[in-house]
Structure 1
Amino acid sequence: MDGGRHPLSVLFQGASYGLAFKLDNLGKEIMGIAVPGALALMADPLASLVDTAFIGHIGPVELAAVGVSIAVFNQVSRIAIFPLVSVTTSFVAEEDVTSSDRQKVETNKESEHNVSDSEMDELISSEDTSATSRKSSLSSLVNIEHNRKSIPSVSTSLLLAGVLGLLQTLLLVFYSKPILDFMGLKPDSGMLNPALQYLVLRSLGAPATLLSLAMQGVFRGLKDTKTPLYATVAGDATNIVLDPIFMFVFKYGVSGAAIAHVISQYFIAAILLWRLRLHVDLLQPSLKHLQIGRFLKNGFLLLARVIAATCCITLSASMAARLGSTPMAAFQICLQIWLASSLLSDGLAFAAQAILAGAFARKDYSKATVTASRVLQLGFILGLLLSVLLGVGLRLGSRLFTEDKDVLHHIYVATPFVALTQPINALAFVSDGVSYGASDFAYAAYSMILVAIASVICIVTLTSYSGFLGIWIALSIYMSLRMFAGFWRIGSARGPWAFLRS
């Protein structure tokens, strides 16, 4: 780029001409990954919202209790699997690109060899022609066998996800009480028993949940987000059907909601595993192909990032729980909607990560620049649309979750923050995808640690002064700092973006 041009200006390339909406090859590639990816991500939070809606009609205490349990389960799952999923998507995308390039070279060599063979065919006898035909048939069978790709990162990811899932189950089954106590549910709290029931049962589905998320990371790296969408929709539809059966017909209450969710997660995992084995060799010839060291090195960096981010969300939920069951019930509803709507932006983040990983693997910096610019512009526009939608929809639709007037009052207090932070959230999430696509894992980890330190101070301070309102002010500050950290890396033209200085 021109020497007098600021690196951050690449983010605004073609904005005045509406190039973000251009459906050229890159535009179609982004949309082909982002739209199904976003819909797949939305399916699970929507299923959780359905759980929340059903449980909300049991009572505000049960609603608040399940809110704490879902927060615990989701945050522990994020700590366990999010680093692995992010690393998997980048590594699979890189290996898929290099594998495709290598296959093209081999195909060209085979074509040249076949031309030579065709010249020789004119000189051989008819008996030799029959032998050549048999050789060709054998070659076709070999080609069919090699249709499945050999991508070592896939096997590594599934192995680690299975181990982490079992460890998460053991952790939540045996240490659920201390964890809930840390979250503010003391032995004399009416929320403790329903929260404990839900969390222990839900933890039995952790292996399936983590395997499903890992396989979704694999499919994103292969630029296939449709398969995870179909599997997730099928599983969550099962969850929605089973919810009222277990909760009200069998009268299991909050335990029924947990059982329905566990069944749906194993169903999703089975579908994804069945589809994945048709495209990829899941068993590597030896342990040295698993690249466990490479995964652990970058995974630990992102683990530090996820723990830092988890501290902010978990601390917010804990502070809300300490305010009482009514603020916690309202916080649970608003947080689920806040995260569910923001996950739409993660579809763009997936597209950015998969496309950028391939571009950087090929050293195609021009495509990397244009991709980063497009997805960030689309993220901002999406955030504006969500802001308007939630500003109107949350106030009008909050009665779907509860009829309690005190809970509704707290929801109305949080609504402006849930709505107005959507553009900020969108840019923050898409920036994460850009960082992961550039394999800038170290910066992503260290910057989030600094953001979390500042945000934790804000959460504790503002909650002590402003209560429920203070929690949402602090969360808004947290997302703003995340967005700034992502933009600063590109704007300073450092790390993988150093080429922007030239």
Structure 2
Amino acid sequence: MTETGDLTSVPASVVTQIPFLVIFKELTRVFSKDAIGREILGIAFPAALALAADPIASLIDTAYIGRLGAVELAAVGVSIAIFNQASRITIFPIVSVTTSFVAEEDTMEKLKEEEKEAKKNNLVHANTLAVQDSLEKGIASPTSNNMNQPQQTPASDTKSSSGNKANKKGKKNIKSASTAMIIGLILGLVQAIFLIFSSKVLLGVMGVKPNSAVLSPAHKYLTIRSLGAPALLLSLSMQGIFRGFKDTKTPLYATIVADVINIILDPIFIFVLHLGISGAAIAHVISQYFMTLILFTRLASKVNLMPPNFAALQFGKFLKNGGLLLARTIAVTFCQTLAAAMAARLGATPMAAFQICLQVWLTTSLLADGLAVAGQAILACSFAEKDDNKVSSCASRVLQVMSRSSS
């Protein structure tokens, strides 16, 4: 109910006319544990932990490499800047649209199943009423005369039964999932080939001079790290799929396992096997493939990953919507890459300091992205369900929590 002079409950008509006022809707309930609050928290908290886990592991990784010296740390910093720029441009738009597409498609499939079940129940109920009406009137109905005889099941019922068996196994036919994984794998292979054969050129663009001591270790690290690009981009696409299912716990589990493997292998490869900076890159690549294996195993148990018709894959839909996010992603990551290039031009020590500060900043700044993941998944499902009230409630709640957290 709206209280007099209270801006915390804005009428829907006013919100429609002035959309930005949605942030004031139910403002006093920003941290309340109602249904929408619990749903947002249940998705956002594991997502935030998963997003923060990788920078934390990178921070520990940085601590190990820092023991090798400022030159090695600077080499890792400039190499990671190049690798991350390439990864974000290629996959982050795809991950964003994957979450929305999978959430929408999964919701539509659930609505269709509910509609079919409702029609089936109505038909059974109507037949029951007809039989009861016939018995009350004393009329011998075919159903009552053949009650003890086995009834034949129509072919359509047989198909429905087989479909229900597939659903009981937990397999879903989500075309967006297969499309996202194929795109992620292709982009990963392209990125790996591009970075391996152009690493020295890219390092030169970043300000690493040919006679610099940073060039050789940076070239080694970037080349080896690029071998993990297919696994990284494929795992990111699968994380987008799980987020579409509102499942952020599985990506969290896979991320933690991969980071633990990376942290354990780092000192072994760097110090025990004396591989130095190359050992750090090898450890990271191995952890990426472990994460991909975990996500793929879990996803294969829930989704039919390849649709029966290859033409059903929605490449055009992905590329069209992903392209709209590409410019925004480039703008966001360009400043960070430019800062790394400027630091690299100042020398090894400033670049090493920049790498440390960058990892600390990433560890804290990515926490808010968990709310963005929750909002995206819930909004996509609510739009598919045509639940306008939940759409506005979710949007206002996420914006309010972000604004309160940042202040």
Q: Please state which band the TM-score falls in when normalised by the shorter chain.
A: 0.7 to 0.9
Residue 146 (structure 2) aligns with: 124
Cα distance in 2, alignment partners of residues 164 and 275 from structure 1: 22
**Partner SS state of residue 301, structure 2:** coil
Residue 78 (structure 1) aligns with: 88
- Give 5+ residue unaligned stretches, structure 1: 385-502
Residue 144 (structure 1) aligns with: 165
Residue 468 (structure 1) aligns with: none
Alignment size in residue pairs: 379
How big is the shift at 1:41? 1.0
Question: 1:383-432: CA deviations, max 9, x gaps?
Answer: 34xxxxxxxxxxxxxxxxxxxxxxxxxxxxxxxxxxxxxxxxxxxxxxxx
Cα distance in 1, alignment partners of residues 162 and 317 from structure 2: 35
Instruction: State whether structure 2 residue 30 is matched by structure 1 residue 8.
Output: no
Larger radius of gyration: 2
How big is the shift at 1:288? 2.6
**Partner SS state of residue 150, structure 2:** helix
1:212 to 218, 235, 254: 235
How big is the shift at 1:21? 1.0
How big is the shift at 1:340? 1.9
AA at the equivalent of 1:51: D
How big is the shift at 1:86? 0.6
Instruction: State whether structure 2 residue 82 is matched by structure 1 residue 61.
Output: no
1:97 to 99, 107, 118: 107
* Cα 1:139/1:12, change in 2 over 3 Å: closer
How big is the shift at 1:161? 0.5
Q: Tell me the TM-score normalised to structure 2 length.
A: 0.88
**Partner SS state of residue 184, structure 1:** coil
Residue 469 (structure 1) aligns with: none
Residue 274 (structure 1) aligns with: 297
Residue 391 (structure 1) aligns with: none
* Cα 1:108/1:63, change in 2 over 3 Å: same
Question: 1:217-269: CA deviations, max 9, x gaps?
Answer: 00111111011111111111111111111111101011111101101111110
Residue 336 (structure 2) aligns with: 313
The 5-angstrom pairing of residues 240-319 of structure 1 reads 240-319=263-342
Cα distance in 2, alignment partners of residues 99 and 136 from structure 1: 19
How big is the shift at 1:170? 0.1
Over the aligned positions, Cα root-mean-square deviation in angstroms equals 2.1
2:384 to 361, 371, 378: 361
Residue 402 (structure 1) aligns with: none
**Partner SS state of residue 30, structure 2:** helix
AA at the equivalent of 1:84: I
Greater Cα shift, 187-196 or 354-363: 354-363
**Partner SS state of residue 21, structure 1:** coil
AA at the equivalent of 2:386: K
Question: 1:451-486: CA deviations, max 9, x gaps?
Answer: xxxxxxxxxxxxxxxxxxxxxxxxxxxxxxxxxxxx
2:121 to 111, 122, 130: 111
Cα distance in 1, alignment partners of residues 159 and 174 from structure 2: 25
Cα distance in 1, alignment partners of residues 171 and 145 from structure 2: 36
Instruction: State whether structure 2 residue 207 is matched by structure 1 residue 184.
Output: yes
Cα distance in 2, alignment partners of residues 142 and 356 from structure 1: 28
- Give 5+ residue unaligned stretches, structure 2: 1-11, 132-141
Greater Cα shift, 215-224 or 375-384: 375-384
Cα distance in 1, alignment partners of residues 146 and 114 from structure 2: 30
Cα distance in 2, alignment partners of residues 253 and 60 from structure 1: 13
How big is the shift at 1:366? 2.1
Cα distance in 2, alignment partners of residues 121 and 56 from structure 1: 82
Cα distance in 2, alignment partners of residues 188 and 345 from structure 1: 41
Cα distance in 1, alignment partners of residues 396 and 223 from structure 2: 44
AA at the equivalent of 1:31: L
Cα distance in 1, alignment partners of residues 322 and 310 from structure 2: 19
User: Which is bigger in relative contact order (C-alpha 8 A, separation at least 6)?
Assistant: 2
Between the aligned residues of both structures, percent identity stands at 55
The 5-angstrom pairing of residues 323-342 of structure 1 reads 323-342=346-365
How big is the shift at 1:285? 1.7
